[in-house]
Amino acid sequence: MKPVIRTSPLTQQCSDLLDATLPLLVSAFQSSPIHIVSSQDRNALSGEMRRGDGPRPPAQTIELNLTEGTPKLERISPVHVRLCYRREDQGSAAAALLAGAATPHTPIAGDNQSLALCTLAERLGASDIPVLIGGPSGTGKEVFARFLHRVSARNEARFVAVNCAAMPEAMLEALLFGHKKGAFTGASDAGQGLFRAADKGTLLLDEIGEMPVALQAKLLRALQEGEVLPLGATQPIKVDVRVVACTNRELSEEVAAGRFREDLFYRLNVFPMRLPALRERPGDIAPLAFGMMLRHSTATIEAGWISDAALARLQGHAWPGNVRELENVIRRAILLCGENAMIEPEHIQFDASVSAVMGEAAVPATPIDAPIAAASEGEVSSEKAAGSLSDVAFRSEAQAIIAALDHCGGHRAKTAKHLGISERTLRYRLASMRETGLLSAGATR
């Protein structure tokens, strides 16, 4: 269902921002109407717009204001977001607007890859075929599965999720298929099981690659026959469930290794989808960062904006922990920001327990006391040579980029191809390097 987006005539002063973002909002899978208003007319216009909306969900009201002061994104109510921005902040304001327009359990997306996946999910919503969502841990597979349920004809029924790696085999079997009273020690009451709980709805089998092989056979029968046999029962029970499975493993490799049934793999793999790592969809980083800032700011600790320098630092990171790591970084930044109105680069502290990743391969770490060569500065001071593991990883990545730039004569397109990354990703990396002093201005062509 495409959203109903209505704008006030007084928002014409924000036409540049709206021209850049409305096409994304129209294709961005909103389920409720969006009313974009200005501070002058929000009260009257919001009431007028809502009349005649019938039983649909309440409209998301986004209040836009141009300001000469500090920009700010804040949530006034569950369905009202206020965005104050300066005209020179068009890029970050577009990311903030995408974040503010998102509803619960809706992906926040600004990258073409993510938008294409969400458009594909809308098409999948018209069918009941099983979907297998792959991708690295922390990329948002469950969020995507919930969205797939929301845009399907089953959205009035329940969405039920279970982590197949979180419990022993016997407990997982009873949880999935149910059990009769007295079926096992401690079964003082009957349990219907998650398949029956999700009847007419969607069942998410997270970490499906961790399911014990013995239980996979019973799952296969449930999918083939559309029925479950509770523990201790003699008669199967019919269920109507759409199954979505998620995994961070390559199930084809698990099949070859004998750890996953081939017939179950083909039953689940009717429509395979892969969520890319966050570093492969850099256009999502800024909207996600604003969305997480909006979600985790509180009345006592409230950050209202993320500076361009801080966004450049975020976009220059390799995100080995993907969206989950980004959420940790933003929550940390809100706390470190304190009473400041804006998150700045010094509030961005990356996880020190993992090293950065360049492309698909890890970059060898530089010794902590080994300074790296800057493109035109000679070397970095000894103060910058020491630091946390994340600093070491960042310098290692910077060293690899600088070496590639030298090899390619400073040509960005050739450097990006040599490193196996996009030119856009390379620009983010270079901006972050300049911001931290690892690369001087004018060092590349």
Measure CA 191 to chain center.
34
Shared domain for 137 and 267, answered yes or no, is yes
Task: Centre a 10 Å sphere on the Cβ of residue 64 and count the other Cβ atoms it contains.
Answer: 25
Shared domain for 95 and 134, answered yes or no, is no
Q: Cα separation of 100 and 445, whole Å?
A: 37
Range of the domain at 102: 1-107
Q: Cα separation of 25 and 263, whole Å?
A: 40
Tell whether 124 is covered by a domain. Answer: yes
Contacts of 437 (CB under 8 A, 6+ apart): 374, 380, 384
Segment-wise mean pLDDT, segments of 10 residues, the chain, 445 residues: 65 84 65 76 51 52 90 90 91 92 84 90 88 93 92 92 85 86 64 91 94 92 91 88 94 93 94 94 95 85 89 94 94 88 92 45 32 34 44 69 79 79 74 66 50
Tell whether 413 is covered by a domain. Answer: yes
Q: Which of 247, 274, 301 is the last residue of a domain?
A: 274
Tell whether 342 is covered by a domain. Answer: no
Total domains present in the chain: 3
Shared domain for 254 and 375, answered yes or no, is no
pLDDT for position 444:
52
pLDDT for position 56:
44
Tell whether 385 is covered by a domain. Answer: yes
CA distances 189 to 175, 183, 281, Å, are: 13, 9, 48
SS3 254: helix
Task: For residue 198, give the nearest of 265, 147, 243, 145 by alpha carbon.
Answer: 243
pLDDT for position 237:
92
Q: Cα separation of 208 and 163, whole Å?
A: 8
Pair 45, 37: CB distance under 8 Å:
yes
Shared domain for 130 and 231, answered yes or no, is yes
pLDDT tens digits, 111-125: 999 989 988 888 888
β-pair type (131-134, 159-163): unpaired
In DSSP notation, 139-161 reads: S-HHHHHHHHHHTSTTTTS-EEE
pLDDT for position 5:
73
Q: Which of 54, 84, 107 is the last residue of a domain?
A: 107
pLDDT for position 77:
87
Torsional class of 319: left (φ above 0), alpha (ψ -120 to 50), beta (otherwise): left
Shared domain for 185 and 71, answered yes or no, is no
Shared domain for 145 and 38, answered yes or no, is no
Tell whether 211 is covered by a domain. Answer: yes
pLDDT tens digits, 54-84: 434 467 888 999 999 999 999 988 888 999 9
Q: Cα separation of 246 and 346, whole Å?
A: 36
Shared domain for 144 and 85, answered yes or no, is no
CATH of the domain at 200: 3.40.50.300
Measure CA 125 to chain center.
20
Tell whether 285 is covered by a domain. Answer: no
